[in-house]
Amino acid sequence: MKLLEGKWALVTGSSRGIGLQVARGLAARKCNLVVHGRKPENTVRTVELLKHYGIQVHSVSGDLSSSEGVQAVIDGVRSGPGHVDILYNNAGVMSAWKPIWEVPPEEWLDILQVNLLAMIALCNAFGPEMKRRGYGRIINVSSGIKDTPNLAPYGISKAAVDKYTRDLAVELKDSNVLVNYLDPGWLKTDLGGKDAMYPVEDVLPGALVPALLEDNGPSGQLFLAQDYRMLA
């Protein structure tokens, strides 16, 4: 089992759901964690759960629906470990179920802000530093959603995540900063709903694969967490 001793990972949206599972998986590999929630109190449970792993844990808060909230997350990292080696852009929101014709402009903008623009801002904040240090792993959580026009803002935001990830991978080619995107599968979370196919725990170990890649490994690639369920 590859260990990540001495590394720092920021996992957005790690107060619950997929982000909490990813944080626990990285902690088991001795990675130090920056955990994130919209409010400071939201991360208390995650911090408590990570105590027994014997790692350093730093908590940041900020609502990714605003530029001020995103900057609060960045400033929180700066005031803690100062940098991250692994950026796990997990936080996201679902759009309301409605006919595609009836989605107002402000809803499109709200979904794109959290699911795409906040992610880009975090990549801009930490990606260049990773390049200078010659090491980094950026994982952007995508989705396998398709043929669902009633959730068009969500689906389109995730399609944009895919394209941005591939472009960023080209920008960081040969830098040992590997940028990949992950489809976690349809999981029973607050976002995925109770009718989803898999329990949230099934995101592991697959969700860790792009974070554990060896130096100069694949970049700009899609990883499917459910392809690795048999390894759990």
Q: List, by residue number, the catalytic residues.
A: 154
Strands (E), 25-85: 32-37, 57-61
Q: Are 127 and 138 in contact (CB under 8 A)?
A: yes
Query: 212, 217, 215: which is closest to 88 by C-alpha?
Result: 212
Query: 102, 119, 208, 200: which is closest to 157 by C-alpha?
Result: 119
| Full DSSP string of 49-67 | HHGGGT--EEEEE--TTSH
Q: Are 168 and 119 in contact (CB under 8 A)?
A: no
Query: 167, 173, 180: which is closest to 137 by C-alpha?
Result: 180
Both tokens of 211, joined, read 């974070």
Q: How far apart are the first and last CA of the chain?
A: 12
Write the burial class of residue 44 (CB in 10 Å: 0-12 exposed, 13-18 middle, 19+ buried).
middle
Residue with token string 């027994």 = 52
| Full DSSP string of 2-18 | ---TT-EEEETTTTSHH
